[in-house]
Amino acid sequence: MPMNEAPSVGNRYIRVMLGIIVTLAVLAALKISKDVTIPLVLAFFFFLMFSPLLRRLDKLHVPKLISSIFVMCLMLLLLLASGWFIIKTVDTLVRLIPFYTDKIISLDRILTDMVSSFVEVPPSASFLTLLPVNWSSLAISSLTQISNKFFSITKVALLVYIFFLFLLLERQSVIPKLLAAVPQGKGMKIAVMFERITRQISKYLVIKIVISFFTGLFFYLSALLTGLDLPSLWGVLAFVFNFIPSIGSIVITSVVIFVALVQFAPNWTNIILVAVLTISTQMILGNIIDPRLQGGQLNLSPFMILVALSLWGYIWGIVGMFIAVPLTSLMQILFANIKSLRPFAIMISSGKSYQRERARQKAIRSFQRRTQHRKSEQFAGESSIESSEDSMAKESANMGDFVLPEQFGEKK
């Protein structure tokens, strides 16, 4: 038997090593070809985002051509609005740089005076001297880089739009092609898996868009209420960064509070109000409402979400961090439907479904044990009743006018 097990163990190790090599090769290929894969993946997720609207239009019996043109117009409007907002924001920030440079110097003086009241600080020392950085030049160079990359951003947006168009045109033929291309026994399984992926990720994206919209709206209203500069910018950034789980909300909230500190110091009331409003928004929408709406549909481990953010962020940059969660969910569904990769699907999952299944099996076993115990007690009770009835019958027989034949020997 050990002789038979040795080749199987060796084959298993070979398969594992080949799997690791193939995975690393695929990730390297995705990183190298990111100029093509990023627009393709973004187009796919935009297609999933518009899928509920397309299904609704199909239920209303809207012709396919009209619904496709309508969705393409919405997509074009979204891309044009994003480009216009980027240009307008960069122009506004360039004009505000001198003002915020003076405010940072003023904040540095305030903080230095506060620290000097507790410890002795040299007259020429300050926080800015500890960081020998020309903040004005740094900000201008960063905005200039964004302006210089506008052409490459436009090229990516154009590729996304073209890929999205062809995905839209072929949406009715995907399932039939899958059924025809795959053997009949597996075609339906793959079709069901594809439908599950599209519906699950579409639901995630739609809920995320709604939560992000209200997050951005409350950030915008908080900035208006407190008089914080650029309320539209903070609202849009809160909307965008909310798609990055955990990290995005921390980053945008910290940035908004820091800008409020620079703008309002030493008016601490507005600074505290901005901090309370933004943190409350993230706590209520991000930690209470969003998990309740999403439920356990993604079923991803929080630790694996952080790993996915790091991995896809390394491969595709900031774009990879935005789509890390739906990509990981897609991989989990694929792994769960491939027998050899099912352990990886279990490791990626949050484990709640398996805990519920284990609790259910435990409850079933406990119920079966209780039922069996009741039956045994009932059987024992019936046996004792029958034996007592027999003894009572014999006693009544002995007390009668005649003696039973089997009791002849007992009578004296």
Concatenated DSSP letters of 287-345: IIIHHHHHTTSS-B-HHHHHHHHHHHHHHHTHHHHHTHHHHHHHHHHHHHTSGGGHHHH
Residue 220 pLDDT: 94
pLDDT of residue 98: 75
Residue 49 lies in a domain: yes
pLDDT digits (tens, 9 = 90+) for 179-202: 666 666 666 777 777 777 777 788
Residues 159, 207 share a domain: no
d(CA 238, CA 213): 8
Q: Is 301 left (phi over 0), alpha (psi -120 to 50) or beta?
A: beta
Residues 254 and 307 in one domain: no
Does 180 reside within a domain? no
157 half-sphere exposure, CB direction, 13 A CA radius: 15
- 249 falls within a domain: yes
Cis ω on the peptide bond leading into residue 266 (within 30° of 0)? Answer: yes
Residue 95 pLDDT greater than 60, yes or no: yes
Residue 183 counted as domain residue = no
Q: What ranges in 117-183 are assigned the alpha helix state H?
A: 127-130, 135-148, 150-169, 174-181
Q: What range does the domain containing 213 cover?
A: 198-297
163 shares its domain with 223: no
Tell me the per-residue pLDDT of 141-167, one tens digit each, with 9 for 90 and over: 666 666 667 778 888 889 999 999 988
Give mean pLDDT, residues 30-38.
Answer: 88
Report residue 333 CA to chain centroid gap: 14
Whether residue 273 contacts residue 223, with contact meaning beta carbons closer than 8 Å, is answered with no
Reported confidence tier of residue 10, pLDDT bands at 50, 70, 90: low
Residues 291 and 302 in one domain: no
Looking at the structure, tell me whether residues 268 and 304 fall in a common domain: no
Q: Is residue 9 part of a domain?
A: no
Give the C-alpha separation, 285 to 330, whole Å.
Answer: 25
User: What's the predicted TM-score (pTM) here?
Assistant: 0.71
Better-scored residue on pLDDT, 10 or 54? 54
- Mean pLDDT value across residues 40-57: 87
* Percentage of the chain exceeding pLDDT 70: 73
Gap between the Cα atoms of 89 and 78, Å rounded: 16
Same domain, 280 and 302: no
Q: Give the C-alpha separation, 176 to 189, whole Å.
A: 13
Give a yes or no: residue 121 inside a domain. yes
282 DSSP assignment: I
DSSP-assigned letter for residue 193: H
Q: What mean pLDDT do residues 78-85 have?
A: 87
> What number is the average pLDDT over the span 265-281?
89
Residue 393 counted as domain residue = no
Write the single-letter amino acid at 15: R
pLDDT tens figures, 373-394 = 776 766 665 555 555 555 554 5
Q: How many helices (H) and strands (E) does the chain have?
A: 17, 0
Task: List b or e across 242-262, with b for residues whose CB sees 16 or more CB atoms inside 10 angstroms.
Answer: bbbbeebbeebbeebbebbbb
Residue 207: its pLDDT value, please?
86
Per-residue three-class SS string for 344-412: HHHHHECCHHHHHHHHHHHHHHHHHHHHHHHHHHHHHHHHHHHHHHHHHHHHHHHCCCCCCHHHHHHCC
Q: Which CA distances in Å does 40 have to 60, 197, 223, 224, 295?
A: 29, 17, 36, 38, 29
Q: Tell me which of 297, 320, 340 is where a domain ends.
A: 297
286/319 same-domain check:
no
CA 232 and chain centroid, separation: 26
**Spatial contact of 312 and 321, defined as CB atoms under 8 Å apart:** yes
363 versus 285: the higher-pLDDT residue is 285
Does the pLDDT at position 248 exceed 50? yes
Domain identity same for 359 and 291? no
Residue 61 lies in a domain: yes
Q: Write the DSSP string, 100-113.
A: HHHHHHHHHHHHHH
- Tokens read off for 10: 């060796």
Tell which wins on pLDDT, 381 or 103: 103
The verdict on 236 and 289 lying in the same domain is: yes
Q: Residue 49 corresponds to which amino acid?
A: M
Could you tell me if 235 and 117 lie in one domain? Answer: no
Quote the tokens at residue 90: 């960069």
Please say which residue of 281, 297, 313 terminates a domain: 297
- The whole-angstrom separation of Cα 408 and Cα 216 is 102
Phi, psi of 349 (to 5 degrees): -70, 165
HSE (CB half, 13 Å, CA atoms) of 393? 7
How many domains does one find in the chain? 3
274, 297, 320 — which closes off a domain? 297
Q: Are residues 55 and 159 in the same domain?
A: yes
Check: CB of residue 171 under 8 Å from CB of residue 54. Answer: yes
Pair 274, 314 in one domain: no
